[in-house]
Structure 1
Amino acid sequence: MSEENQSRNAQAGQKQREQMQKESVATHHELSDQGLTKRNEEFMFQLGKQLDALNAKADKKAQVIEETMTALVEGQKKGTTAKQLFGTPTAYAAEIVNGPVRRGPQPQSSYKLLALDNGLMFFNIFAFMFGLMSVFSPKSMAADQTGTSGILAIILVAISGGLLFAWVTKVLSPAKKGEEKKPVWYKILSVVAALVAWIAIYFAASLLPGMINPTLPGIAYIVLAVLGFLADMYVRRRYNIVGGAFAGGQNQQARKK
């Protein structure tokens, strides 16, 4: 390429950059006249560029710009930022042109849901265990004078275990953004305290009189365990529960996501 052609290309490139700069300044002035803050001006400017890059139709772009600008002006009165309203200009423009991104159900791990999930699982385990013992080793069940195999004792142990280990799960979970990270000693003490409290409740439940804590037939325990398992499966799928004392694999998958 000759020096003359290089010079012409350089001049053309310089003119193009100057033209783009003039258009940018003009656009910012136009946005400033609408009463937008500097950040909202920049959001609108970048949104326009992204819409152009995605080949948005002129009439669609004009409509979006007008509606977005109106929303930003109203949001400014309440102290709401453009990011809070629309996210990033790139994502917002892509959603306008390509349609909203389909998202699956968001994993949930609230204390109440974890307590329900853990409680059901503890109930299922104890009910199934005592059911099998009653069916295959009825003599050992008859010789057992404690009330731990009573239905009320199983329910109390399951509820307390669900509540305690839902709390432990929350304590052991990684700190979210903005939260203070819990020290290791606190996590260890929390686990030990929960175990001690649960064992104490277990032994206290064994002292319940048979009148209010009857032992059911083995087959009844097995049926209750199966029903409890199905109920827990429904709850986990219905609310997309992530975490819990019996969900180590799901916890790892959720963290990878």
Structure 2
Amino acid sequence: MAKKNDEPQTAVETTVDVDGLLSELTKKNDEYVFKLRRILKEHQYTDAQERKVLADILPEMVEAQRAGKPATQIFGPVTVKADSIINAPKPVKQAPYWLTGLDLSLFFASIFGLMYGIMAFIKPKNMTAGSGIASIIIMAGMAGFIFSYYNIWSRRDKKKRAKTWLIMLGGVAAIIVASLASSLLAVIKSPLTSPTVWPVYAVVAVVCYGAHWLLKRQYNLPGIMAA
């Protein structure tokens, strides 16, 4: 039974003159394209999807045949080429920056919660004024969004990236601002800004990591070093 093509059944706009390029094909290449189209039809490709495939391969095919190279030489056997088209991996939709930033912030919050929890359990009297829940939120948010932006930046084309020194300067500035905000909050005496007992930090670590795990599973989000 033919494998049903589950790509969106929408028309494909292209600037490639498919019909014009088809008329330029040699006999061998024309036969190659005929067999390829037949296989695509067997897998329930629509006319629009078929033309999209042709628009992708015909320019290279025609250019190669002008140099005396047939389609089998550049694409391989028609069955292999068809299989690579039909079973091509679907493009991964990139998650929005705010979502990846939130996810990594939750991850860092769980790490900070674990660290503070261990410290509060071992030496509770040594907990500093800047180790409250509010400070964890600020520092984790800063780290999460910095790493999220770095991952996005590192996947861009090198010609379209911001300068490395600008990224480093921005990261240092964000750390300074977050540290200052955390220090200022320490002056305020409240349950959120003051050090607390280790079970509270443990709850923060478990809840934040659980939320991080659920987000990654639900939206297939990249990891901390996704670059």
- Report the 3-state secondary structure (helix = DSSP H, G, I; strand = E; otherwise coil) of the residue aligned with 2:172: helix
Counterpart-to-counterpart distance in 1, 2:16 and 2:145: 49
RMSD of Structure 2 on Structure 1 (CA): 4.0
1:191 Cα offset (Å): 2.6
Q: Deviations along 1:97-128, whole A, 9 cap, x unmatched?
A: 65832636726353113211221122112211
Report runs of 4+ in structure 1 exceeding 4 Å deviation. Answer: 43-48, 82-86, 93-99
1:48: how far off?
Answer: 5.6
Equivalent residues in 2 for 1:70-149 (5 A)? Answer: 71=48, 83=52, 87-88=56-57, 100-101=86-87, 103=89, 106=92, 108=94, 110-141=96-127, 144=128, 146=129, 148-149=130-131
Match of 2:157 in 1: 176
1:41 aligns with 2:19: yes
* Residue 162 in structure 1 maps to residue 148 in structure 2: no
What is the one-letter code of the residue matched to 1:176?
D
Q: In structure 2, what is the equivalent of residue 56 of structure 1?
A: 38
Residue 207 of structure 1 aligns with which residue?
A: 187
How far did 1:84 drift? 8.6
Report the CA distance between 1:214 and its aligned residue.
5.0
Indicate how the Cα distance of structure 1 residues 196 and 156 shifts in structure 2: closer, same or farther if over 3 A, else same. Answer: closer
Q: Percent identical across equivalent pairs? A: 25
Find the counterpart in structure 2 of residue 76 from structure 1: none
**C-alpha displacement at 1:86, in angstroms?**
6.1
2:221 paired residue number? 241
Q: Structure 1 residues 212, 228: closer, same or farther in 2, change over 3 A? A: closer
Query: Using the alignment, how far apart are the partners of 1:96 and 1:55 within structure 2?
Result: 11
More helix by share: 1
**Cα deviation per residue 1:125-146 (whole Å; 9 max; x = unaligned)?**
22111111122222323xx3x1
Highest CA radius of gyration, 1 or 2?
1
Distance 1:168 1:224 in 2: 26
Structure 2: unaligned runs, 5 residues or longer: 1-14, 59-70
* TM-score (ref. length: structure 2): 0.61
Q: TM-score, normalised by structure 1?
A: 0.56
Give 5+ residue unaligned stretches, structure 1: 1-36, 73-81, 252-257
